[in-house]
Structure 1
Amino acid sequence: MIIEDLKIPNHIGIIMDGNGRWAQKKGKKRNFGHEVGAQVAENVIEWSADLGVRYLTLYSFSTENWKRPESEVNFLFKLFVKYLETRMLKIISKGVRMRFSGRIDKLPLEVQNACSRIENKSLNNDKIDLIMALNYGGRQEIVDSVNKLISQGKSFITEEDILSNLYLNDVPDPDFIIRTSGEERLSNFLLWQSAYSEFYFTDVLWPDFDYEEYIKALKVYNKRVRRFGGINRSDENGCE
């Protein structure tokens, strides 16, 4: 599955958008789209591991998703637990380490317990870190980091202080962020970490996101010149 001469990002973040719209276009209920989308996520995890991606963060449930109908939220949690307890066991057997980022302690106890079990079972895996952003919000993560520092008695806060108190402070910033469904915004995803990420937006709805589309996105990434605020010698004006 390795693609010759393709530079693989160390850390990829994906905003998996469009499950509900995909289902509605097919005359189905939104939950059907979430089920298909979960299978696509499983595929992307395996492709990423095979391609050599070291960190993969999937935006699974945002702090804003609580605004959805209660029945849909409950279905999402049940589907998530089901996948953690069945399909993810196959995934971690291939060397995937499962981690979670977000306000996990605010989730239903059943979800918290499932997260803890799968995290512990995969703790020693080192092929790829799969990070599920669950009950996650970028603004909330920054606020939580600052509040930790305040509780420690900090009167002056630096960038390093905030960074060291983020949910997963050992995970490097994402090199590449992909969003499906035609929307072109971050929607509160990894706001601190994405300062110098490259972005890729596609009109493809998440349930239709296949291997060819993934490779297409990676090829676009390979054409980007990352300067991190510095000067590229080919630039006449020295701007980023």
Structure 2
Amino acid sequence: MGPSGAYEPTGRTVPARSRERASYDRALVHAILDEGYVCHLGFVRDGAPVVLPTLYARDGERLFVHGSTGSRPLREAGRAEAGLPVCLTVTHVDGLVLARSAFHHSVNYRSVVVHGAARQVTDPAERAAALSALVDHVLPGRSADSRPANGRELAATAVLCLDLAEVSAKLRAGGPNDDPEDLALPYWSGVLPVAPAYGTPVPADDLAPGIPVPGYLTRR
């Protein structure tokens, strides 16, 4: 990482197209990661590419990725001395960009791509911290407001750790980029914003009477 708080660009993190949209700013990368819930984890299995959606959480300059002990990539990460080569991505769609021409339609987005070698977390203390981080990433404060995993559940759960070292963000914002000759065409052009929304918490059918809705749900 550079002294300015930015990740060092590499051959794998410099995009081939729209390089002006790339960013290596650490604070921006962290913000994009912290806003998401699901990542896509890519790796090679039996000579073929595989991409899996899964939960993740950031802890400083590392990511924890949740999985099952029966998952092949997690088993391979545990066996590989140098870790499992992976590519992890997170993307937020912020708007649908509608141009006058079909060619110039696009989306406004924020994304992060991380390259590296993922290792399996086996140290009990680090693993417990990682599992708490995964729960709290989805809802801050939830790990302290739920029963910790028991031995059977821990035996069925695996965690990967991926350092944030080879990282880039890429963003698009703003309106459509119509060609000058298309500006007079009679088609609506602009941006339809896209944003996540949280609904009213729905209690479980078997929730005991008198248990209130936690404050960390009503503040969202």
Q: What is the TM-score when the length of structure 1 is the normalising length?
A: 0.23
Instruction: Name the TM-score, length of structure 2 as normaliser.
Output: 0.24
Q: Which has the larger radius of gyration?
A: 2
